[in-house]
């Protein structure tokens, strides 16, 4: 009988020194950002949007990524698609392939084709989802696994489709609170071993799964979750998150991460934050050549 294979050791918790990995992001300017329909609990079309402020806040986010040394490509914004700034929803790109989105709401359906065009330009093959799937909004890569949200947007059928497409475990997590309608509003990958999350957004079964997979997870409170604090972007060391998520920033700093604070309050009117604005292209050098 052969000995069981050991899982790779997780870094010890506490104020360990964290290592950043240079990333490749795709973003889309909020040139046509507006709240003209309500497809999530955050959106109220009677609240005016300050377009200049949204654009300035977004430009600061892009500058933050570039200052951290990451590559940022910009997908051209398209008139009539006011949610296109939330670029994370267009696809999941991992293992040399893109799982192109099929949006739940008709108002966003046309965004998918623009993402496909950019991915084609980058030389990345796209598998278009047969089932409703909203890219990284509901699909979060943590090391070897993909955590997959369902309940409001991405379907379980899409999780199964993705598991066949990728040679990776896809772990379904059910979301139960409409304020946290996408997985990336209530859970983020901090590195290949750990997540930060708000347990109250998940079904009891989902909470059990996250606790089993990530005993070291950082648990955020409702106040930090409600300012979209968990909609952050980590490079393994620097965690870009909203300035209002003060408690979470302190928790992360205590664990050896470096919080990098930005203000995307204008975009929060659409129900999105840092991660929603940021698609990651996970392509290794071998996959590129
Ligand atoms: N208004 C957009 C929607 O409801 C916001 C998307 C936010 N994106 C995200 N990755 N959570 O679809």
CATH number of the domain located at residue range(s) 24-284 in this protein: 3.75.10.10
pLDDT for 167: 86
Q: Tell me which of 179, 276, 280 to substitute to probe ligand 1's pocket, judged by most ligand atoms within 8 Å of the beta carbon.
A: 276
Task: List the one residue out of 243, 240, 242, 186 whose CA is nearest residue 218.
Answer: 186
Q: What is the pLDDT of residues 3-14, one digit of tens each?
A: 334 334 455 555
284 pLDDT band, cuts 50/70/90, is: confident
pLDDT for 283: 86
159 catalytically annotated:
no
* For residues 218-223, average pLDDT: 98
285 pLDDT band, cuts 50/70/90, is: low
**Which residue CA neighbors atom 8 of ligand 1 most closely?**
276
Identify whether the C-beta of residue 110 lies closer than 8 Å to the C-beta of residue 129.
no
Helices vs. strands in the chain: H and E counts, helices first:
7, 15
Strand-pairing partners, residue 127, are: 99
Task: List the one residue out of 127, 95, 135 whose CA is nearest residue 111.
Answer: 135
Ligand 1: distance of its center to the CA of 37 in Å? 12
* For residues 105-130, average pLDDT: 98
Which one of 182, 186, 193, 277 is the catalytic residue?
A: 182
Identify whether the C-beta of residue 242 lies closer than 8 Å to the C-beta of residue 264.
yes
Identify whether the C-beta of residue 270 lies closer than 8 Å to the C-beta of residue 35.
yes
First-to-final CA distance of the chain:
40
186 catalytically annotated:
no
Please identify, by atom number, the ligand 1 atom nearest to the C-alpha of residue 43. Answer: 1
Q: What is the pLDDT of residues 59-108, one digit of tens each?
A: 999 999 999 999 999 999 999 999 999 999 999 999 999 999 999 999 99
DSSP 41-56: TT--TTS---HHHHHH
pLDDT for 149: 98
pLDDT for 217: 98
Ligand 1: distance of its center to the CA of 165 in Å? 24
- For the record, the structure tokens of 242 come out as 């909203």
Please identify, by atom number, the ligand 1 atom nearest to the C-alpha of residue 89. Answer: 10
Q: What is the pLDDT of residues 150-167, one digit of tens each?
A: 999 999 999 999 999 998
pLDDT for 286: 72
Q: What is the pLDDT of residues 228-279, one digit of tens each?
A: 999 999 999 999 999 999 999 999 999 999 999 999 999 999 999 999 999 9
Strands 24-27 and 279-280: antiparallel
Backbone angles phi, psi at 56, to 5 degrees: -65, -45
Which one of 28, 186, 276, 277 is the catalytic residue?
A: 276
Task: List the one residue out of 275, 265, 267, 199 whose CA is nearest residue 232.
Answer: 275
More confident residue, 17 or 192: 192
pLDDT above 70 (res 123): yes
* For residues 45-66, average pLDDT: 97
Task: List the one residue out of 199, 198, 201, 200 whose CA is nearest residue 229.
Answer: 198
pLDDT for 9: 46
Please identify, by atom number, the ligand 1 atom nearest to the C-alpha of residue 275. Answer: 10
ipTM of this complex prediction, to 2 decimal places: 0.97
15 pLDDT band, cuts 50/70/90, is: low
């Amino acid at each position: 009988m052969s000995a069981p294979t050991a899982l790779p050791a997780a870094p010890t918790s506490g104020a360990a020194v964290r290592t950043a990995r240079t990333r490749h992001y795709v973003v889309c300017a909020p040139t046509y950002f507006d709240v003209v329909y309500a497809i999530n609990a955050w959106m109220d079309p009677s609240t005016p949007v300050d377009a200049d402020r949204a654009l300035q806040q977004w430009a600061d986010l892009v500058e933050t990524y570039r200052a951290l040394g990451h590559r940022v490509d910009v997908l051209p914004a398209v008139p009539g698609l006011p949610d296109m700034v939330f670029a994370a929803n267009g696809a999941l790109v991992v293992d040399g392939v893109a799982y192109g989105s099929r949006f739940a709401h008709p108002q966003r359906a046309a965004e998918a084709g623009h993402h496909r065009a950019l991915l084609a330009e980058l030389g990345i093959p796209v598998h278009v989802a047969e089932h409703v799937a909203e890219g990284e909004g509901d699909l979060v890569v943590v090391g070897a696994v993909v955590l997959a949200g369902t309940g409001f947007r991405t379907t379980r059928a899409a999780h199964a489709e993705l598991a066949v497409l990728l040679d990776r475990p896809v772990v379904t997590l059910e979301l139960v609170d409409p304020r946290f309608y996408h997985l990336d509003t209530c859970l983020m990958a901090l590195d290949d071993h750990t997540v930060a999350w708000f347990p109250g957004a998940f079904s009891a079964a989902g909470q059990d799964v996250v606790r089993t997979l990530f005993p070291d997870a950082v648990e955020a409170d409702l106040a930090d979750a409600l300012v979209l604090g968990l909609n952050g972007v980590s490079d393994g060391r620097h965690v870009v998150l909203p300035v209002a998520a003060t408690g979470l920033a302190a928790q992360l700093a205590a664990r050896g991460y470096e919080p990098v604070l930005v203000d995307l309050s204008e975009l929060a009117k659409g129900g999105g934050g840092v991660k929603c604005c940021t698609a990651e292209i996970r392509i290794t050098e071998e996959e590129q050549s």
